[in-house]
Amino acid sequence: MKQYKKLVSPYCFWLFALTIIPMMLIAFYAFTSKGTEITTFQFTLDNFFKFMDPIFLSVLMRSLVLGVLTTAICFLIGYPIAYMIAKCKENTQTILILLITIPTWINLLMRTYAWMSILSNNGIINNLLQSIGLGRVHMMYTDFAVVIGMVYNFLPFMILPIHTSLTNMDKSLTEASMDLGASRIQTFFKVTFRLSLSGVLTGITMVFLPAISAFVIPKMLGGGQYSLIGNFIEQQFITVGNWHFGSAVSLVLAVIVIVLMALIYRVEKRTNVSNEDEEGGNKRYGKRKKIRKGSMH
């Protein structure tokens, strides 16, 4: 076993070079400003105070709302799809999963351009609406368009982990539940859904993280003036050239995401624990009665 440990070292190197160092650089920039002639950098918290401006905060709020909305829609669409795929025969499952992954092989920009032509004022939907006599609807450059674009792009990342957790589940567990008198619906909520929660959490993480920091999709479907926190950071780095402020906003975003994810995992753990505590009595009994060790024989 021991000699295999050395095989980890290249991974450690890449982790350090590609993740740790950039993170440290961001933190470094966030807490500094351009200094005088003598010192090149100066420690400061100004970047963070600057971000406390209501205009900037509303951008952050809007990003969070759209991120949560996108994640919720992905979950509501993705769970039933994953569930239905998991119910299919194995060969069918392989094909369906392939169909869901294939779009991700195409470049994100291409896929989003496709949505532009679908949603635009002279696009497919509007032409269709007009041909059945329902007038045109303005869709491009709205929250609606941005959310559609994000849901479309991130949906596979919700479906795949849920599908995996559902197919890894022991089929006899649902049989046992039905055997014990639970109807199909009861079985789903008491057993199937509970046991797929880990997949759901992975899905939420994999959708929420890119959704909250997206900047290409909002830029294309939301228009040039449209600003989410991802666009804001991009502007600070590329257009404005204020790396210090951009880094500070990135850091704030990272902290918010970490706190949110920690909360979600906490809640998941809680529900597990509260489930066990549901019968107030058994705790009592567990303590009162002596545990019979080796009672197997």
Partner 1 sequence: MKKLIELNNLTKEFNGQVVLKGIHLDIHENEFMTLLGPSGCGKTTTLRIVGGFEEASNGEVLFDGIDISSLPPYKREVNTVFQKYALFPHMNVFDNVAFGLKIKKLDKAIIEQKVLRMLNLVGLEGFEKRNISQLSGGQQQRVAIARALVNEPKVLLLDEPLGALDLKLRKAMQIELKNIQKEVGITFVYVTHDQEEALTMSDTIVVMNDGSIQQIGTPTDIYNEPENRFVAQFIGESNIVEGTFVKDFLVEFDGQQFVCVDKGFDEGQDVDIVLRPEDLDIVEVGQGKIEGTISSIIFKGVHYEIMVETDERMYKVHTTDMSEVGKKVNLDFWPEDIHVMEKMGTY
Judged by CB under 8 A, the stretch of 28-36, 82-90, 230-238, 283-291 that binds partner 1 is 283-291
Q: Residue 23 and residue 255: Cα distance in Å, rounded? A: 12
- Kindly tell me the number of DSSP H helices and DSSP E strands found in the chain: 16, 2
The one segment of 22-30, 56-64, 254-262, 276-284 that binds partner 1 by CB under 8 A: 276-284
Binding mask 225-254 for partner 1 (x = CB under 8 A): ------------------------------
The residue ranges of DSSP E strands in the chain, in sequence order, are 32-34, 41-43
| Closer to partner 1 by Cβ: residue 38 or 185 | 185
Please state, as a whole number, how many other Cβ atoms lie within 10 Å of the Cβ of residue 204.
23
Q: How far is CA 295 from CA 41, 289, 290, in A?
A: 69, 14, 12
Sole window of 131-139, 143-151, 172-180, 228-236 interacting with partner 1 (rule: CB under 8 A):
172-180
Q: Does 279 bind partner 1 (CB under 8 A)?
A: yes
Q: What is the DSSP letter of 291?
A: P
From residue 95 to residue 114, what is the string marking binding to partner 1 with x (rule CB under 8 A)? --------------------
Site for partner 1 in 175-214 (CB under 8 A): 175-184, 186, 190-191, 194-195
In the complex, what is the shortest distance from the CB of residue 262 to partner 1, in angstroms, rounded to a whole number? 21
Distance CA 35, CA 50 (A): 17
Q: What character string, x for contact with partner 1 (CB under 8 A) and - otherwise, covers 127-166? A: ----------------------------------------
Three-state secondary structure call for residue 43: strand
Stretch that binds partner 1, among 23-31, 105-113, 227-235, 275-283 (CB under 8 A): 275-283
Q: Which residues, 6 or more positions from 69, have their beta carbon under 8 angstroms from its beta carbon?
A: 147
* Identity at 271, one-letter amino acid code: T
Q: Does residue 90 interact with partner 1 by CB under 8 A?
A: no
The three-state secondary structure class of 54 is: helix
Instruction: Tell me if 77 contacts partner 1 by CB under 8 A.
Output: no
Of 71 and 177, nearer to partner 1 (C-beta) is 177
Tell me the residue type at 48: F
Q: Judged by CB under 8 A, does residue 6 bind partner 1?
A: no
Tokens at 114, concatenated: 């496709």
Separation between Cα atoms, residue 51 and residue 104, nearest integer Å: 35
Kindly give the interhelix angle for 243-277 and 54-87, rounded to the nearest 10 degrees. Answer: 50
Indicate whether 173 belongs to the interface with partner 1 (CB under 8 A): yes
Paired tokens of 180:
């014990």
Asked if 289 interacts with partner 1 (CB under 8 A), we say yes
Binding site for partner 1 (CB under 8 A): 170, 172-173, 175-184, 186, 190-191, 194-195, 272, 275-276, 278-279, 281-283, 285-286, 289-292, 295-297
